[in-house]
């Protein structure tokens, strides 16, 4: 038994006609309940995914665009700001040293270089101690 579409927010549950005729009402009701449970599970997975994305992700790290001196809460946020991509992976790769730059400044065309914000702050503190 599968659910493919919804009417008034409830999934339509389908089965073959010959299977329907040979199945008791109790079994049909059980299959409908199971289908609804699967639907709830899929909805909760989607909700969980939204809860942990971007700044809600406990593993997300703040980044700093060295080229423009702009901080961002997440690599995804910086990536979206400069229209680099939708998930921030190239910004993260730049922060990790895998890429030299990620994206270009929309006004100047200059390549954007990135660091994790905490590393940027540490580098500023070290620079102050030396000077």
In this model, does residue 64 exceed pLDDT 70? yes
Share of the chain above pLDDT 70, in %: 73
Q: How far apart are CA 69 and CA 20, in angstroms?
A: 66
Q: How far apart are CA 92 and CA 44, in angstroms?
A: 28
Residue 13, token pair as written in the block: 């549950």
Q: What is the pLDDT of residues 70-93, one digit of tens each?
A: 999 999 999 999 999 888 899 999
In this model, does residue 106 exceed pLDDT 60? yes
Whether pTM exceeds 0.75 = no
Q: What is the pLDDT of residues 115-125, one digit of tens each?
A: 999 999 988 87
Residue 121, token pair as written in the block: 């702050």
Question: Measured between alpha carbons, how far is residue 108 from residues 27, 66, 96, 111 in Å?
Answer: 67, 14, 25, 9
pLDDT of residue 8: 76
């Amino acid at each position: 038994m599968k659910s493919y579409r919804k009417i008034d927010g409830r999934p339509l549950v389908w089965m073959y006609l010959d299977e329907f005729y040979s199945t008791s009402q109790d079994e049909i009701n059980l299959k409908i309940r199971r289908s609804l449970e699967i639907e709830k599970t899929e909805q909760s997975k989607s909700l969980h995914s939204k809860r942990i994305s971007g700044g809600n992700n406990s593993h997300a790290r703040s980044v700093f665009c060295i080229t423009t001196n702009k901080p961002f809460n997440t690599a995804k946020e910086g990536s979206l700001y400069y229209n680099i991509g939708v998930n921030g992976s190239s910004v993260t790769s730049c922060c990790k040293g895998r890429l030299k730059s990620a994206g270009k400044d929309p006004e100047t065309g200059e390549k954007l270089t990135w660091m994790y914000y905490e590393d940027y702050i540490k580098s500023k503190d070290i620079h102050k101690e030396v000077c």
